[in-house]
Amino acid sequence: MQKLKEEGYQIEAVSNKGYRLLDAPDILSAEELNSIRKTKWIGSSIVYLDVTDSTNIQAKRLAEEGAPHGTLVVAGRQQSGRGRRGKAWESPAHDGIFMTLLLRPAFLPQQASMLTIVAAIAVAKAVRTALRLPATVKWPNDILLNEKKICGILTELSTEIDSINHIVIGVGINVSNQCFPDGIADIATSILLESGKNIHRASLIEAVWEQFESYYDAFCAAGDLSPLLEEYNSFLINRDRQVCILDPSHPFTGTAKGIARTGELIVETEEETRLVSSGEVSVRGIYGYV
Ligand code: ATP
């Protein structure tokens, strides 16, 4: 206790043996995550790392070593967090949630991209129910508050010819960031900046994976996203808006109508209705990020 006082923490005695820290940083640990865990299989093994390169890299390493389906890797800080197509994910210490789920599913490699949509709806629903904040989704996998990004998702796959070795789903959520670097300041925000709330990260982690489990069960039973379509489309910020599809070879604009049951964005142009796959494209609004 003396050491904590010397480190500048304010301490309040709550019994003759216990005390709690006032204004202490929200420090995560495997013990805490285990103690509040309500999921059935996600997090049956939790690996917590104070600092790591990237939770996706660690989850892939654990997968190669035989870690089981449902292993959850959580970090306090990432030194080289990544997004899709090699982009960087800004991951400052203790300000965010950085976590990756390892899956060993029985379905086919071509179904794997739909899991990004399953993860996106789970994060949006968890933010809506656990925090009562009106999260929306920018197709396929960005979660927004007030039209700015609070969460990115990176799904990576290891396959054989017609089977999946493992999938890792990385989720980065901006929790208590007060500001962002120049390049992303106009598109990024945090739960604290939008709501004024300092939330408990472990509880949000738990809420995300509880939601994921139930959507994942529905997805596996159906073999596609049909049970999730209506709700995902109701969260979709792009719905009925003009969008620019930044396809490196054929960029075009149209009106987004929702997603198909295999996860493509349905876009109506003046000539036709097109289905856009997420692989190589980014989506933007006509005038900006959405
Ligand atoms: P987009 O279509 O918006 O470019 P993406 O899905 O292709 O997103 P992601 O993998 O989700 O890309 O995220 C990487 C991008 O997100 C980066 O290029 C950067 O613009 C932005 N970014 C990086 N760190 C953060 C952060 N902490 N919060 C919000 N946005 C971030």
Residue 153 has pLDDT above 90, yes or no: yes
Q: How far away, in angstroms, is 184 Cα from ligand 1 center? A: 8
Which tens digit of pLDDT belongs to each residue from 9-20? Answer: 555 554 444 444
| pLDDT score of 85 | 82
Residue 1 has pLDDT above 90, yes or no: no
- List the beta bridge partners of residue 274: 267
In short, whether 90's Cβ falls inside 6 Å of ligand 1 is yes
In short, whether 83's Cβ falls inside 6 Å of ligand 1 is yes
In short, whether 174's Cβ falls inside 6 Å of ligand 1 is yes
Which tens digit of pLDDT belongs to each residue from 62-74? Answer: 999 999 999 999 9
Q: How far apart are CA 97 and CA 78, in angstroms?
A: 10
| pLDDT score of 16 | 42
Residue 22 has pLDDT above 80, yes or no: no
Q: How far away, in angstroms, is 18 Cα from ligand 1 center? A: 42
Out of 77, 80, 84, give the residue to mutate to test ligand 1, the one with the largest number of ligand atoms within 8 Å of its CB: 84
| CATH for the stretch 26-235 | 3.30.930.10
Fold of 242-285: SH3 type barrels. (2.30.30)
| pLDDT score of 179 | 94
The two structure tokens encoding residue 118: 């399953």
Look over the chain and give the mean of its residue pLDDT values, rounded to a whole number: 91
Q: Which has the higher per-residue pLDDT, 271 or 18? A: 271
Least confident of 20-24, 119-123, 127-131, 158-162: 20-24
pTM of the model: 0.91
Which tens digit of pLDDT belongs to each residue from 210-235? Answer: 999 999 999 999 999 999 999 999 99
**Mean pLDDT of the 237-249 span:** 94
Domain with CATH 3.30.930.10 in the chain: 26-235
**Mean pLDDT of the 263-269 span:** 97
Residue 133 has pLDDT above 60, yes or no: yes
Beta-carbon count within 10 A of 35 CB? 9
**Mean pLDDT of the 233-250 span:** 94
| pLDDT score of 17 | 40
| pLDDT score of 271 | 96
**Mean pLDDT of the 247-263 span:** 95
| pLDDT score of 25 | 62
In short, whether 154's Cβ falls inside 6 Å of ligand 1 is yes
What is 27-88 written as a DSSP string? Answer: ---HHHHHHT---SSTTSSEEEEEEES-HHHHHHHHHHTTPPTT-EEEEEEESS-B-GGG-B
Which tens digit of pLDDT belongs to each residue from 75-107? Answer: 999 999 998 888 899 888 889 999 999 999 999
Sheet containing 148-159, strands listed edge to edge, beginning at the edge strand earlier in sequence: 46-52, 72-78, 96-103, 164-174, 148-159, 142-145, 136-138
Domain with CATH 2.30.30.100 in the chain: 242-285
